[in-house]
Every structure is written in C-alpha cells, then in structure tokens.
Chains A and B, each alone.
Chain A
Amino acid sequence: EPEVTQTPSHQVTQMGQEVILRCVPISNHLYFYWYRQILGQKVEFLVSFYNNEISEKSEIFDDQFSVERPDGSNFTLKIRSTKLEDSAMYFCASFTSKGLVSYNEQFFGPGTRLTVL
C-alpha cells in the first residue's frame, strides 16, 4: 500500500541552525501539507502546497519557514534559524484532490521529531 515517508525520523540541532525535513508524498497525490505537534499538544496546520506554490499557510508559518518540491518527488520543510520552540513532531501529509471531489483522507507520514538544543 502506498505511504508517505519522512526522513529523518529524529533530528537534533543547535539553536540558530538550519534544518531541512524531508517527505516523499504518495506518487499520484497533488496536495501536500506540513503539520506540527508540540509535545503533548494538538496537531497544528502549518502550510499547504499545490502546483508548486503555497496555497495556504497558518500564522505559525512565518519567514523562518519555507517549503519546496525540488525534484517532483520530495517535499521539504526548511527552518532557517531554529528556535527552542521549534522542537516538535513535524508531520507531512498528502492528498489526492481538493474540495468536493475529494473522497480520500489525507495520508500522514510517520513524522520527524525535531529537537532544538
């Protein structure tokens, strides 16, 4: 069964460093998402991406964050200068279609746990 994959499973970094979290969505999916879950809290939407551009972003997704789909298969989330409060689990998700014709659930990857020291 197709699945969303994420690498690495755990990333430890120093405050101020740049990190790139990688995701490989399901191959025929068109919509891609990043979500964040701070330990013990709810899952929060960060950004959605379609047709090589951001379609929506939350207030969490500030200038320190960026996303791209560099090669048609990977979908990356970059945090330019990490802060302690960026420590969280980051989930990638993909979706095959949008709106009224969407009959499939979003598929979530297993997550990358980011620890900022």
Chain B
Amino acid sequence: AQKVTQAQTEISVVEKEDVTLDCVYETRDTTYYLFWYKQPPSGELVFLIRRNSFDEQNEISGRYSWNFQKSTSSFNFTITASQVVDSAVYFCALSEAWDNDMRFGAGTRLTVKP
C-alpha cells in the first residue's frame, strides 16, 4: 500500500530564510511518481513538480529545489530565500505506475512572516 508522511504540520519562518519541507513515502512498486503541490489560501492545487522513481537527479527551479533520495524514501522540498507569497499548505503525493491515483500526505502549512 502506498503512503506519504509529512511529519511537519506547521512551519513558520521569517522572510528570506531557507526552509525545507520533508516528505517520506512508502510503496511496494519499483516504478512510481512523486509530486509536490502548493495550496494557497484561495484553495486551488498548484502543481510544482513531478518526479519518477528512475530519476534521482535533484532539481532546481528558481528558489525551489527538490532532493529525491530513494535510499531513505524521501522527497524533500526546499525554498530558498522564502517570501511572504510562499505562505501556503504544501502537499507531497505519490502515485504508483500501474495506476495514477494519487495519495497525498497530510500537508505542511508554511507561514512566512515579513
């Protein structure tokens, strides 16, 4: 069974601090996909990244970076030089290759204070 754990319920930082959101997953499949979504106060789900299990390269997109480590079943997300607009709930999710049904973690609420 697939499972995603986001142990950090809430994180609060001051603007310009770096922050890392943790995600640990469980799956029995060898092929799977990992996702991060941002949910701002307006409620929509904003896609940030998708990673497949065969691609362990870390990725950087502007102030965002992702660290995928299969050895520890983790897919952590770092925001560098955080901004107030980064305040949102961030969800990590997993889908297994045979089916694209996504399983979400509980989410981490990030608050960035000015």
Contacts and interface: CB of A to CB of B under 8 A. Distances in A.
Interface of A: 31, 33, 35, 41-45, 48, 55-56, 89, 91, 95, 98-100, 102, 105-108, 110-111, 113
B100 A98 contact: yes
Contacts of A91: 45
B105 A106 contact: no
B91 A105 contact: no
Contacts, number: 57
Contacts of A41: 106
Contact of A43 (B31, B47, B100, B104): B104
A108 B91 contact: no
19 contacts: A35-B102, A41-B106, A42-B91, A42-B106, A43-B37, A43-B45, A43-B93, A43-B102, A45-B102, A89-B43, A95-B100, A98-B99, A99-B99, A100-B97, A105-B47, A106-B95, A106-B102, A107-B47, A110-B43
A100 B93 CA distance: 17
Interface in B64-114: 91, 93, 95, 97-107
Nearest to B100: A95
Given A42-B106, A45-B103, A99 B44 contact: no
Contacts of A108: 37, 44-45, 47
A43 B44 CA distance: 11
Given A43-B93, A48-B100, A99-B100, 7 more contacts: A33-B102, A42-B107, A44-B104, A99-B99, A100-B31, A108-B37, A108-B47
